[in-house]
Every structure is written in structure tokens, then in C-alpha cells.
Amino acid sequence: MLMDVIVTTAALSLIIGVRYLVVGVVTHGLLWSGAGRGRRLNRQAPDRRRMRREIVASLIACPIYALPAALVLELWKRGGTAVYSDVGAWPLWWLPASFVVYLLAHDAFYYWVHRGLHHPRVFRWAHAEHHRSHDPSAFASFAFDPAEAAATAWFLPALAMVVPIHWGVALALLTLMTATAVLNHAGREVWPQGWLRRAPLKWLITATHHDLHHKRFNGNYGLYFRFWDTSRLTELSAATERRDRPHRPEGSPEISLDDGSPSAV
């Protein structure tokens, strides 16, 4: 089985990497070509040199995310997971219910891990790479330090070991994860501003919400839903955004936009 996991990890790394590049190129091209589309959030267009570094960091993260997925895939082939292929194996209502359960569980997990990654003793070696993108691009959606990738890659595969999910629902979940991650880092808001104040978007994290996290560092930690930020008082408001300089919590490292070395921002 070990060799099977190694081969599957390599294959999934390639698939994840190609998917990332294709989605990133298409999204960035659609939103930033010409006059651009959507409401601009970035103070300036994404820097090409920074985008190249986002791509490198993302490709390094690919095998880290691929390994636990490959392990679950190989165990699934041997009947050792909670992933199922027969739609009739569980009640039909469980298909949408499992989608919601996974979303809520992933959102809760990510919120608390993300807050932990911003602790001054952790930030520099586990989360700084992602925050070098003060004006992020679609390519920043996967640009993580190896430590952050390792801390987050295992959760959904581990959940698939114990919580039943149809493989089609799992694929839909991964598709949603990719779409929201890319759009929330693209530097432009694709939704009309008026829609963001109405349900259901007022409950969800969009580019406007997450972009404030990249500008100010000290709030908006959620992944899909705003519940955790609002209930734990870490919600940042666009009305109080300071666009002249990002805010860093006391004790957190200063991040250079260029080479990653400490510098004032």
C-alpha cells in the first residue's frame, strides 16, 4: 500500500497543481484584463513578481495537501473510509445534509486554526508567506507556508474517515472550496455591493470580507461563514479600514512585500 500512496500522491500533486494554475490564470485574466471586472479592492494591481512567488509557494504546498488525500483514496479503494459511491447507501436527504455538515465543520476548524496561526510565536514561520500578499491575487489562494499546509491539509481527509459522504458531494465541496478561495483572494469583488448587505451574502465570506484580513491582519479569520468572526468579536468592518497601511497585532512580525525579510510596512 505504501507504494500505492506514493504514486497516488504524485498523481494528485500534479492534478492539484494544474487545477490551481488553470483556475488562477483564468480568474486573474477575467477580473484584471483591460479595465477589469468587479469592484476593485486592491490598492494596486497584483505585482507580477509577487504572483510568481505565490505560484512557487502554492506548488510546494501541492504534495502536502495531496498526501492525506492520497491516503484516504487508497483506503477508500480498500473499503476503509466513510466515503461511499452508492447513492442508496444512505438516505437521499443526507446528500445535501452531509455537504452542510462538512462545510460547518471545516469552517469552525479553519477559524480557530487561522487565529492560532496569527499568534506572534507562530506567525513568522507558519503563516507569513500568505500575508506577504497585502494586495493578493487569485494565485495567493493556495500560497501557504509548508507548516500551514500541514496543519490544514489533514482535516477533511480525516473527517472522510468517520463522517459518511458521497464521492460526488466530496467533489462538489472541493469545487466550492476552490472557487471561494480563488475569488476571495482575487483583489476584486464580483458581487454587487448592494447584494453584500442582504441575505444570503451578508452571512458569507466574500472578497470584500477577506481582503480586509490581508490589509489589517487582526480579524476576519473565517473561511465560508461570518458567524465565528461576529460571535467572537473578530469581525473587521470596511468602514474602519485604514488603506494607508496594514494593521498588525502587537508582537506580530513585519512582512516585506518583496523578499520576505523583516521590514517596516
pLDDT of residue 239: 55
Beta pairing, strands 165-166 & 188-189: unpaired
pLDDT of residue 240: 53
pLDDT of residue 237: 81
The rounded distance, in Å, linking the Cα atoms of 154 and 231 is: 26
pLDDT of residue 238: 65
The pTM of this model reads: 0.88
Contact 126, 145 (CB under 8 A): yes
The rounded distance, in Å, linking the Cα atoms of 251 and 145 is: 20
State the average pLDDT over residues 50-68: 97
pLDDT at 263 > cutoff 80:
no
| pLDDT per position as a tens digit, 147-169 | 999 999 999 999 999 999 999 99
Q: What is the 3-state secondary structure (H, E, C) of 5-40?
A: HHHHHHHHHHHHHHHHHHHHHHHHHHHHCCCCCCEE
State the average pLDDT over residues 9-27: 97
Peptide bond before residue 200 is cis, with ω within 30 degrees of 0: yes
Q: How many of the other CB atoms lie within 10 Å of CB of 93? A: 8
